[in-house]
Amino acid sequence: MGKRPKKSDSPSAKAISYLYVLLITLLITAFLVFMILLLPLMTHPSVPRNVGTTMFLLVIALTLLTGVTGMLVFAILEKKKVV
């Protein structure tokens, strides 16, 4: 009797995992770009330290929120067999 392939071995599951890796890579890249762009503003002497910290935390929160939203969208599309 032949073995049935596991769900994780199916091509669509591999495609989803590649999409997750791509999404995480894009989020890390976006985070680093935002940090590089905000670094001169955060270290400028006229900007108070709490404003720089607030901007840093805001970028982290927005990046994480985007990541979670993207993963939820991929999970929904995976359940509907769109992807």
pLDDT at 5 over 70: no
Give the type of residue at 29.
T
Measured distance CA(24)–CA(42) in Å, rounded = 25
- Find the helix packing angle between 11-43 and 49-79, rounded to 10°: 170
For residues 28 and 60, the answer to whether their CB atoms sit within 8 Å is: no
Measured distance CA(64)–CA(60) in Å, rounded = 6
Task: Compute the average pLDDT of residues 1-21.
Answer: 64
Helix (H, G, I), strand (E, B) or coil at 45: coil
pLDDT at 7 over 60: no
Q: What is the pLDDT of residue 47?
A: 79
Tell me the per-residue pLDDT of 23-63, one tens digit each, with 9 for 90 and over. 788 888 888 888 888 788 777 888 788 887 888 888 888 88
Q: What is the pLDDT of residue 80?
A: 75
